[in-house]
A and B are shown apart, each in its own frame.
Chain A
Amino acid sequence: MDSLTALTFLPLVGALIVLAMPAAKEKAIRLVALATTLVVAVLGIATYLAFDGASAALQGTVEAAWFTLPYIGGGEGVPVHFRLGMDGLSVLMVGLTAVMMPIVILSTYGHIHTRVKEFFVWMLVMETGMLGVFLSMDLVLFYVFWEVSLVPLYFLVGIWGGANRLYATVKFFLYTVAGSLVMLVAIIALVHMTGSTDIGRLMEMASNTDIVSLENQSWMFFAFALAFAIKVPVIPFHTWLADAHTEAPTSGSVLLAGVLLKMGTYGLLRFAIGFFPMMALQNRELFMALGAIGIVYGALLAMAQTDIKRLVACSSVSHLGFVVMGMFALTETGLRGSVLQMVNHGLSTGLLFLLIGMIYERRHTRAIADFGGVALSMPIFAFFFIVSMLSSVGLPGLNGFVGEFMILLGSFEASPLWGTIGVTGVIFGAIYLLSATRRLLFGPLTRKENEELQDLNLREVGLMVPLVLLCVWIGFKPNDFLSELDGSIDALVVRIEAAETQLQLDETALFLDDSTPEPAVALVEAAQ
C-alpha cells in the first residue's frame, strides 16, 4: 500500500482493533491506541522528510476511481476519485497531526478513566478524519472527511467533557455544520460548472471567468470562506470555541487547538484563496480587518477571563486572527508566516492546554484565583508553563516570534492600518499571558492545597519535551520548516499576482466605450 493511504487509514484500522477488544482491558486498549498513533507518527515524519519543498507539484499522489456523479458536467457525469496528495500547504499540517496524536494519547493517562474503549475508538477515528482533510485532493472526498471529522469531536466533548459539555458540543456541531452546508451548495455548483472534482484542476478552472463567472465566483468565495471562518473561528463566529475548549477534556482541547482549528485556516488558504484569488484580492481589506479585530478582541476577551482554560481558549481566537490577517495580506511573507503560525499555534496552545490539564487533574479547579505560588511547589511545571507561555507571547528565539513577525511584515505591505492594529495584539498578548502566569505561578503560597501539589512525573515531562524542542527549533532555524513551503507558496503568489493583473485589466475595460480610439481597445483586449 502506498504511504499516504496507509497514513490516512492506519488510525481507522487501530480504531477497529480497539472496537473488537473487550472494554475491561483498558491497559491493552491504551497500548494499542498509543502504538497505532506512534506508527502513524513515524510514517508521517517519514513522508514529511521525503517531501521536496522546492516543488509545487502534488507529491505521493494516490488515485483510484470511486464513483461517477451522474448528469452534471454536460450530461456525461463527473468521475469522483479517491485521490490523496500532499503539497507545501498541507505538509506541515500532516506532520503536526502525526506528531500531536501520540502526545494527546499519552496525556489521556491522566484524565480519561471512564468508558476508555469508546474514547480511543473516537480518538483514532478523529485522526483518520483530520489526516483525510489535509490529504484529500478530490473535492467530494475532502467534504466527506471534513464533515465526518466533526462526529468524533462531538462525542469526545459530549461524553468526557465538563459540566456544561452537552451545550458546548451541540453548539460546536451546529455552528460548524451550518457553514459546511452552505459550502456544500457552492461545492455542488462548482463541480457542476467545471465538470471536475480534482482539486488541482479546480485551482485553474475556478478562477477562470470563462468557466465560472465573476458573480458566481463571488458568492462561492463567500460560501467557502464562511465554512472555514466558522471553523477557525474568525470573529464574529468565535462563540462556539470558548465553550468547546472549556468543556472539552484536556486531550480534546489539545486536539482542537493543535489540529482541528487548522482545518479552518488550511481551508481558507487552499480553497477560498486558492480557488478564487480574484475574490480574495477584492475582499482583502475585509478579511484583514476581521483578522485584526479578532486579534484585539480575542486578547481583550482573554484579559477578562478568570478561568485559565477559557483564557487560553480566547487567546486562540487572538492568535488565529494573526493567521487570518497574514493570509489575506496575500503577500509572500504574509502567506508563509501564516502557514508557519498555524504550526506554532498548534504547538504553543497545545502545550498550554496540556499543562492546564495536568494542574486540573491535581486541583480540580481552573480558576486562576485558586492558585498562586505554584512555582514553589511545582518548579518543573512552572518551567514548562513559562516556556509555553513565552512561545505563545512571541518571544524571540521561540517559534511564535517568527510567525507573528512574518505575518506583521506581510500585513504592513498590504495594509498598514490593519497591520498596526495587529501589532497592538502582540502587546495585549504579553499583558494577559504574563499577568495570568504571575497570578498562577508566583507570589506566596496562600493555599494549603497548592503547597501539597505533586510536580510533574516522567510521563508528563516526556510528552511535552518533543513539543518544546520543536518550539525552540522553529524559533532558531525557521527555514528548516519554511523551506517546505517554497514551491507551493511561490506558485500561489504567482496566481495571486496574475489575478491582480486580471482585475486591473477588467477595471480598465470598464472605461472602454465607443469613444475610445480603436488602437486602445485592441491593446486592452490583447492584454486580456
Chain B
Amino acid sequence: MTFQSTQDAFDAAFSTAALPAVLPAVILSVGALLMLLIEIVPGARASRPIVVLATLVGALFANFTQLSDPAGPVLDGIYASTPETAIWGMLFAAGALLAWVYSIGYYGEKARPFLAEHDMLFLSAPAGMTLMVCSQDLLMFFVGLELLSLPLYARAAFRRERHDSVEAGLKYFLLGAFAAATYLFGASLLYLATGTISVMELKMMMGDTITTTPVFLAGAGLLVAGIFFKISVFPFHMWVPDVYEGSPTPVTTLMATGTKAAAFGFLIPISFLLPTEATGLIAAIALLTMAAGNLGALVQTNIKRMLAYSGVAHAGTILLVIAGYLASGRDDAIGEQALHAALFYLAAYLFTSTGSFGLLAMLERDGEDLTTMRGIRGLARRRPAVAAAMTLFMLSLGGIPATGGFFGKWFVFTVLVQEGMYGVAILGALMSVVALGYYLRVIVNLWMEPLDEADTGRVAPVTLPAGIATAVCALGVLVLGLMPGWFLDLLG
C-alpha cells in the first residue's frame, strides 16, 4: 500500500473500528499501569483490589462484546479480533481473576509492601496473552509473549526468601530467553525466505515453491520449536517440574493454564507453516510428550510437581489436533475444528487446573508438607468440601465423563478419528489410563487412607474468596461436562 502522507497511513491503520478490538488489551494495560500509580499516590493503596477486579472484569466484558460482533483484522492487519480470540480473552481474564483470588493472603506479611508490584506484574500477564492470540504478525506475537513472560519470570521468583522460588525464576528466565531467541531466529528466517512477517500473507503464499525451500522450512521449524518451549512439549519440557514447583502456587496456576492456552491459541492458527509431511513427526512428539508427562507424574510424591508433569501430558494431548490438521492436508475447516477442540480442552483445563493449584495454594498455608501425597492423607475427614472439589478436578483431569475434561478429550480425538488416525487416537487414549494412575492416587490419599492422628490440629479455615473461586472452578468443570452445548454455542 502506498499513502499520500503519513496522516493517511495513520488513519488507515488506526480507524475507530480498531478500538473495540483492542479494548481488552488496552483495559488490561491501563490497569497494570494504574497499579504503578497506586504506589505513589498517598492513600490510594487501599483501592488496589478494586482496580484489579475492575480491570479483569472490564477485560472480560470487553471480550464478551467482541463475541457476537467481532471486529476482524484491524490495525493494518497485524491484529485480529474473532469469536475465538474473544473466548480466549474471556478465558484469560477469568483465569487471571481466579488465580488472583487464590493469591489473596498467600504471600504473608513480608510481601505486603510489594503487593502493588505483584498485581502490576499480574495484570500484564493476561494483557500479553490477549496480544498473543490476537496477533496476526510474527513480531506482534513476540511482543505479547514477552509482555507475558518477563513479568512471570519476576513473579516466579517473588518469594525471595525462598531458595527454590529464586531458582525457579532464574531457570524460567534462562530457558525462556533461549526459547525467545529460537522463535525470533525462526521468524527472521521466514522473513528471509518470504519477505513478510504477516500471518495472512504467509498463509496466502502456502503452496508456493518458496514454502518448500530449506530456509522456509528451517524458519517454520525453529519458530514452532520456540513455541514448543512455552507449551512444554517433549523434549523441551524439562524445565516444567522445577519451575512449577518452585514458583509461588498462584503464579504456577497462571503459568500452567494461561501461558499454555495463549501459546496454543497462536500456534494452531499458524501451524499451516508446517509441511503436511510433518504429520507423523508431530503425532510422535505429541505421544512422546504425553508419555514423558505421564511417566514423570507417576513417580511424584509432591502434588504440585505431579500436576506440573500432568500439565506436560495435557500439552501433548492438545498437540494431537495439529497432527490431525496436518493430516487433512491443511484443510481450513479442519484447522478451525482443531482450534475449537483445543479451545474446549483448554477451557476445561483452565478450570480444573486453576482449581487444583488454587486448593494446593490454600493447603500450602497450613504447612509445606500438606501438598505432598502424604500430607493430604485423610483430608476428606477434616475438610470434606476441599477434598470433594479436589476429587472433581482430578476426575476431570483424568477425562472421566460428566466433567469438562471428558468432552475436551472427545473433541481432540474427533479431529484424529476424522483423519483416520485411529492408532494414534487409541495410543493417546491409553496414555490417559496411565494418567488416571496418579490422579487416582490423589483421591486414594484424600479419602481412603486413614487420617494421621497427629495431624488433626492443623485445620485452617477456608477463606471466603478462595471458597468462591473453588466453587466457580467446580461449577465450570461441571457445566462443561454436563452442558457442553452452552460453550459450543459460543463458538457458533
- Which A residues are within 8 Å of any B CB, using their own CB? 66-72, 75, 143-144, 147-148, 150-151, 154-155, 158-159, 165-166, 169-170, 173-174, 177-178, 181-182, 184-185, 188-189, 192, 219, 223
- Residues of chain A contacted by B418 (CB below 8 angstroms): 71-72, 192
Interface size on B, residues (CB 8 A): 35
Closest CB-CB distance, A245 to chain B, in whole Å? 18
CA A150 – CA B403 in complex, angstroms?
Answer: 14
Q: Is B417 an interface residue (CB 8 A)?
A: yes
Closest CB-CB distance, A188 to chain B, in whole Å? 5
CA A154 – CA B491 in complex, angstroms?
Answer: 36
- Not counting A178-B433, A184-B410, a sample of 18 additional A-B residue pairs whose C-beta atoms are within 8 angstroms of each other reads A71-B337, A72-B414, A148-B400, A158-B448, A166-B444, A166-B448, A173-B436, A174-B433, A181-B430, A181-B432, A182-B429, A182-B430, A185-B425, A185-B429, A188-B414, A189-B417, A189-B422, A223-B426
Which residue from A70, A185, A189, A223 sits with its C-beta under 8 Å from B491? A70
Would you mind naming 21 contact pairs between A and B with Cβ atoms under 8 Å apart? A68-B488, A70-B337, A70-B491, A71-B333, A71-B337, A147-B401, A147-B406, A154-B440, A155-B448, A158-B444, A169-B444, A173-B436, A173-B440, A177-B433, A178-B430, A182-B429, A184-B409, A184-B429, A185-B413, A185-B417, A188-B410
- Residues of chain A contacted by B401 (CB below 8 angstroms): 143-144, 147-148
Chain B residue with the shortest CB-CB distance to A66? B485
CA A353 – CA B37 in complex, angstroms?
Answer: 72
A70 touches B488 (CB 8 A): yes
B402 touches A148 (CB 8 A): yes
B425 touches A159 (CB 8 A): no
- Residues of chain B contacted by A148 (CB below 8 angstroms): 400-402
Closest CB-CB distance, A481 to chain B, in whole Å? 32
Closest CB-CB distance, A58 to chain B, in whole Å? 23
B333 touches A68 (CB 8 A): no
Q: Is B221 an interface residue (CB 8 A)?
A: no
Q: Is B239 an interface residue (CB 8 A)?
A: no
B121-177: which residues lie under 8 A (CB-CB) from chain A? Answer: none
Q: Is B437 an interface residue (CB 8 A)?
A: yes
CA A407 – CA B196 in complex, angstroms?
Answer: 73
- Residues of chain A contacted by B447 (CB below 8 angstroms): 155, 158-159
Contact flag A67-B440 (CB < 8 Å), given A158-B448, A159-B448, A178-B430: no
B478-492: which residues lie under 8 A (CB-CB) from chain A? Answer: 483-485, 488, 491
Closest CB-CB distance, B330 to chain A, in whole Å? 16
B445-481: which residues lie under 8 A (CB-CB) from chain A? Answer: 447-449
- Residues of chain B contacted by A166 (CB below 8 angstroms): 444, 448-449
A185 touches B410 (CB 8 A): no
CA A70 – CA B483 in complex, angstroms?
Answer: 14
CA A69 – CA B491 in complex, angstroms?
Answer: 12
CA A97 – CA B113 in complex, angstroms?
Answer: 63
Interface core residue of B333, B400, B417 (most chain A CB under 10 Å): B417
Chain B residue with the shortest CB-CB distance to A23? B384
Closest CB-CB distance, B335 to chain A, in whole Å? 12
A188 touches B417 (CB 8 A): yes
A147 touches B429 (CB 8 A): no
Chain B residue with the shortest CB-CB distance to A150? B400
Closest CB-CB distance, B364 to chain A, in whole Å? 26
Q: Is B395 an interface residue (CB 8 A)?
A: yes
B437 touches A192 (CB 8 A): no
CA A479 – CA B174 in complex, angstroms?
Answer: 77
Q: Is B340 an interface residue (CB 8 A)?
A: yes
- Residues of chain A contacted by B402 (CB below 8 angstroms): 144, 148
Closest CB-CB distance, A176 to chain B, in whole Å? 10
- Residues of chain B contacted by A192 (CB below 8 angstroms): 414, 417-418
Top 5 closest A-B pairs, CB basis? Answer: A67-B485, A181-B429, A144-B401, A158-B448, A178-B433
Closest CB-CB distance, B483 to chain A, in whole Å? 7
CA A397 – CA B429 in complex, angstroms?
Answer: 47
Chain B residue with the shortest CB-CB distance to A75? B333
CA A147 – CA B433 in complex, angstroms?
Answer: 13
Contact flag A185-B337 (CB < 8 Å), given A72-B414, A177-B433: no
- Residues of chain B contacted by A69 (CB below 8 angstroms): 414
Which residue from B340, B430, B440, B448 sits with its C-beta under 8 Å from A70? B340
Closest CB-CB distance, B306 to chain A, in whole Å? 16
CA A178 – CA B337 in complex, angstroms?
Answer: 27
CA A223 – CA B418 in complex, angstroms?
Answer: 17
Closest CB-CB distance, A370 to chain B, in whole Å? 27
Interface core residue of A70, A170, A177 (most chain B CB under 10 Å): A70
Closest CB-CB distance, B346 to chain A, in whole Å? 16
CA A185 – CA B422 in complex, angstroms?
Answer: 7
Chain A residue with the shortest CB-CB distance to B398? A177
- Residues of chain B contacted by A181 (CB below 8 angstroms): 429-430, 432-433
- Residues of chain A contacted by B340 (CB below 8 angstroms): 70-71
Contact flag A67-B414 (CB < 8 Å), given A158-B448, A159-B448, A166-B448: no
B413 touches A188 (CB 8 A): yes
Chain A residue with the shortest CB-CB distance to B444? A166
CA A223 – CA B429 in complex, angstroms?
Answer: 12
- Residues of chain B contacted by A154 (CB below 8 angstroms): 440, 443
- Residues of chain B contacted by A188 (CB below 8 angstroms): 410, 413-414, 417, 425
- Residues of chain B contacted by A155 (CB below 8 angstroms): 447-448
Closest CB-CB distance, A221 to chain B, in whole Å? 13
CA A174 – CA B432 in complex, angstroms?
Answer: 10
Contact flag A151-B400 (CB < 8 Å), given A181-B433, A182-B426, A192-B414: yes
Q: C-beta contact mask, B373-415 vs A, less than 8 Å → 1, else 0? A: 0000000000000000000000100001110001001100110
